[in-house]
Structure 1
Amino acid sequence: MKQVYPIILTPEQEGGYSVSVPDLSIGTQGETVAECIEMARDAIGLWGICEQDAGRAIPQPTALSIPHDPSQLVTLVDIDFEAYRRANDMRTIRKNVTLQSWLNDMAEKAGVNFSQVLQDALKQRLGVTDR
């Protein structure tokens, strides 16, 4: 699910910017505008997949234009929550598989990495590509 959220960049006296995502009540910071956008995308993505994992819905953006102080910069950040999860969720899950004894023996003798073979086969079957 891809969304676009407005963010507010507020210049800091010592340099850089503080960043807020009003729709999600989260914030981050960065030294440059480009870094702020990247940090905001990461913060939104992490927050979003944590909400999904907790069984909560990710709120829709309320508006693409939001009120702000003249000293602040407002811009938009897009995020694809599914792509973010694929790129950043590196948890592993243990699976128990069953196969014929002779096939297991041959694979072990050949030094086959069972986990890698299963991952490759699942990606191929599901049409998933690595980033």
Structure 2
Amino acid sequence: MVSADTLRLLADIGFMATSGGFSPQAQSMFKAIEQARPDSVLPHIGNALNSMNMNRHQEALDTLEKKALKLEPENPTVKAFIGMALMMLGRNSECERYLNGLTDSDDSLAASLASNLLVELKEQASKKSSSGLH
């Protein structure tokens, strides 16, 4: 079995690959992680992020809801990434509902991601309302 530290390192490499535009390589990395640790949400989060980086936001949402959330229904990081996918799809009210409860999470990644996404949502709303005034 792959240790937790090794799993985290492999996931980090996959996240760097997708962020760097190496989507096929990232996909291969996350597939390998899923095969090694089918009980982990990390490969599903990674695949979802990879999908978002390729502008396949519905695919990302489906992966998070049908795979990651199924494994860990209360995982705040999974919920934060669901919020991100919803925002990318323009489903802002659903996004806000997901993110509002996460800003004070003990999971610092989820809390930070939720806070940043909520700020971005408010900025988008502000731009829309100010551009509508003539």
Q: What is the TM-score with the length of structure 2 in the denominator? A: 0.27
Greater gyration radius: 1
Task: Select the structure that is richer in helix.
Answer: 2
Task: Select the structure that is richer in strand.
Answer: 1
**Bigger relative contact order, structure 1 or 2 (CA pairs below 8 A, ≥6 apart):** 1
